[in-house]
A and B are shown apart, each in its own frame.
Chain A
Amino acid sequence: MLNNTIKCLKNNLPEEVLIVYSADETLIGECFINNSDEQIEIQFGYEIDNLQSNSKYIQINKDVLDYVESGDILLVRPNGTVQIIFSKSSQDNVLFLTEQCNNHCLMCSQPPKRKDDVNYFYWLNSKLIDLLPLSLQKIGITGGEPTLLKERLVSLLSKIKNRLPEIEVQLLSNGRNFDDINYVHRISEIGLKKLLIGVPLHSDFYIDHDYIAQNNNAFNQTLKGLYNLARYNFNIELRVVINKINYYRLHKISEYIFKNLPFVYHVAFMGLEYTGLVPKNSKEIWIDPIDYKDELKKSVLNLASWGMNVSIFNLPLCLIDESLYTYTQKSISDWKIKYFEQCENCILKSICGGDFGTSLKYSPNIMPRLQVTCSS
Chain B
Amino acid sequence: MDYFLLPFRFERFENSEVLVNEVGDYIVCPIGTAEKIVGRHISETDGIYKDLISNYFISTTRIPRLIDNLATRYRTKKSFLDNFTSLHIFVMTIRCNQNCLYCQASSKENNQTTYDISYETLDYGIDLMFQSPSPYLTMEFQGGEPTLLYDKLKYAIEKSETINNLKNKHITYVICTNSVALTDDLLALCHNYNILISTSLDGPEFVHNKNRGKNDSYQKVITGIDRARSEIGKDRISALMTTSELSLDYPKEIVDSYIENGFSNIFLRALNPYGLVYKTNDWQNYYSRFVDFYKEALEYIIEKNKEGVYFEESFTVLILKKILTPFPIGFVDLQSPAGLINSVVVYNYDGFVYASDESRMLAEHNDFTFRLGSVKDKYTDLFYGRKVLEIANTWSNEVLAGCSDCAFQAYCGADPVRNYTTQNDMEGFRPTSAFCKKNKAIIQHIFSLIINRHDEVMPIFKNWIKQN
Q: Write the residues of chain A forming the contact surface with B, with a CB cutoff of 8 angstroms.
A: 204-208, 220, 223-224, 227, 249, 252, 256, 258-260, 262, 305-307
Contact = CB atoms under 8 A, between A and B. Distances in A.
Contacts of B459: 305
Q: Which label, helix, strand, loop or mixed, suits the secondary structure of the A interface? A: helix
Nearest to A221: B65
Contacts of A223: 66, 69
Contacts of B326: 258-260, 262
Given A204-B54, A262-B326, A224 B462 contact: no
Contacts of A208: 50
Q: Which of A205, A249, A252 has the most CB of B within 10 A?
A: A205
Nearest to B25: A259
Interface string B429-468: 0000000000000000000000000000011001100100
Contact of B54 (A206, A227, A262, A306): A206
A305 B68 CA distance: 28
Interface residues of B, number: 20
Given A260-B326, A305-B459, A224 B50 contact: no
B377 interface: no
Contacts of B463: 305
B50 A249 contact: yes
Contact of B462 (A220, A259, A305): A305
Nearest to B53: A205
A21 B448 CA distance: 77
B462 A227 contact: no
Contact of B68 (A205, A206, A224, A306): A224
Nearest to B71: A227
Contact of B53 (A206, A259, A260): A206
A220 B66 contact: yes
Contact of A224 (B53, B69, B325, B466): B69
A260 B69 contact: yes
Nearest to B65: A220
Given A227-B68, A252-B51, 15 more contacts: A204-B50, A205-B50, A205-B53, A208-B50, A223-B66, A223-B69, A224-B69, A227-B69, A249-B50, A252-B50, A252-B54, A258-B326, A260-B326, A305-B463, A307-B466
B66 A256 contact: no
B72 interface: yes
B73 interface: yes
Given A249-B50, A259-B326, A306 B73 contact: no
Interface in B6-63: 25, 50-51, 53-55
B66 A205 contact: no
Q: Which of B54, B65, B462 has the most CB of A within 10 A?
A: B54
Interface of B: 25, 50-51, 53-55, 65-66, 68-69, 72-73, 325-327, 458-459, 462-463, 466
Contacts of A259: 25, 55, 73, 325-326
A247 to B, nearest CB: 14
Contacts of A204: 50, 54
A258 B73 CA distance: 12
B76 to A, nearest CB: 9
A205 B65 CA distance: 13
Contacts of B25: 259
Contacts of B462: 305-306
A307 B327 CA distance: 14
A224 B67 CA distance: 10
A258 B327 CA distance: 10
A338 to B, nearest CB: 36
Closest 10 CB pairs of A and B: A205-B50, A204-B54, A220-B65, A305-B462, A205-B54, A259-B326, A227-B69, A307-B466, A223-B66, A262-B326
A28 to B, nearest CB: 42
Contacts of B73: 259-260
B454 to A, nearest CB: 11
A39 to B, nearest CB: 59
Nearest to B49: A205
A205 B459 CA distance: 27
A259 B466 CA distance: 15
Contacts of B50: 204-205, 207-208, 249, 252
Nearest to A306: B462
A205 to B, nearest CB: 4
B56 to A, nearest CB: 9
A179 to B, nearest CB: 10
Nearest to B327: A262
A306 B466 contact: yes
A256 B54 contact: yes
28 contacts: A206-B54, A208-B50, A220-B65, A223-B66, A223-B69, A224-B66, A224-B68, A227-B68, A227-B72, A252-B50, A252-B51, A256-B54, A256-B55, A258-B325, A258-B326, A259-B25, A259-B73, A259-B325, A259-B326, A260-B326, A262-B325, A262-B326, A305-B458, A305-B459, A305-B462, A305-B466, A306-B462, A307-B466
A235 B298 CA distance: 39
Contacts of B72: 227
Nearest to B466: A307
A259 B69 CA distance: 11
Contacts of B466: 305-307
A256 B66 CA distance: 14
A27 to B, nearest CB: 47
A72 B418 CA distance: 74
Contacts of B69: 223-224, 227, 260
B261 to A, nearest CB: 29
B72 to A, nearest CB: 6
Nearest to B23: A259
Nearest to A249: B50
Nearest to A217: B65
Contacts of B65: 220
Nearest to B73: A260
A260 B74 CA distance: 11
A204 B54 CA distance: 6
Contacts of A249: 50
A201 to B, nearest CB: 11
A376 to B, nearest CB: 38
Nearest to A253: B54
A306 B55 CA distance: 19
A303 to B, nearest CB: 11
Contacts of A224: 66, 68-69
A256 to B, nearest CB: 6
B52 to A, nearest CB: 10
B107 to A, nearest CB: 43
